[in-house]
Amino acid sequence: MRLVKAQGLEWQNREQFFGISANLMRQILVDHARKTSAAKRGGHSVMITLDESVAASNESEEDLLLLDAALTKLSEIDAFGARVIELRYFAGLTIEETARALGTSPMTVKREWTTARLWLHKEITG
């Protein structure tokens, strides 16, 4: 719905669409995790039923919030690596699709994917 409501956007290409979609998916999942965490601390929430095909993964809300914070930190020191993670993880793109979306080679994406994942793992686990 957020993608449909995005007014004034003129899609230049498929890659731009996936880039914006990945960012919106990240925002949606993080917002949902924050609301769920707030509900656990006494907040009020409205239960909705989602189609299983659009349901989030089995990761806990806390894990997703940790990932978001680490990804935000990564983007400050390695914006390209953070973008690779966002496209691969939140948009579900393959190495080749990510390379096309970013205008680079699959080998560069593989290298960034590996490096960024290691950095995120170290950041999250301490």
Residue 7 lies in a domain: no
CB 74 within 8 A of CB 85: yes
pTM of the model: 0.62
d(CA 29, CA 94): 20
User: Is residue 78 in some structural domain?
Assistant: yes
Quick check: is 3 in a domain? Answer: no
> For the chain, what is the domain count?
1
Task: Establish if 6 belongs to a structural domain.
Answer: no
Residue at 4 is within a domain:
no
Give residue-wise pLDDT tens across range 60-113: 778 888 888 999 999 999 999 999 999 998 888 999 999 998 999 999 999 999
Residue 86 lies in a domain: yes
Domain carrying residue 33: 12-125
In a domain, 45, yes or no: yes
Question: Which token pair is 90?
Answer: 């939140």
**Are the C-beta atoms of 35 and 48 separated by less than 8 Å?**
no
